[in-house]
Amino acid sequence: MDTFLLDASNLFFFFSGFLMFYTAYRDRKALRGYNLLGTIIIVLAITLGLAFYTQQGFWLSFALTLPMYIYWIIVCTSILRGRIGKTISTPASGA
- 32 in Cβ contact with 82 (< 8 Å): yes
This prediction's pTM: 0.75
**pLDDT for res 89:** 63
**pLDDT for res 51:** 96
pLDDT exceeds cutoff 60 at 94: no
Contacts of 29 (CB under 8 A, 6+ apart): none
Spatial separation of the C-alpha atoms in residues 89 and 42, rounded to whole Å: 28
Q: Which residue has the higher pLDDT, 1 or 14?
A: 14
Spatial separation of the C-alpha atoms in residues 74 and 53, rounded to whole Å: 22
- 69 in Cβ contact with 50 (< 8 Å): yes
pLDDT, tens digit, for every residue of 2-51? 788 888 888 888 888 888 888 877 877 777 778 889 999 999 999 999 99
Give the residue-averaged pLDDT of 43-61. Answer: 94
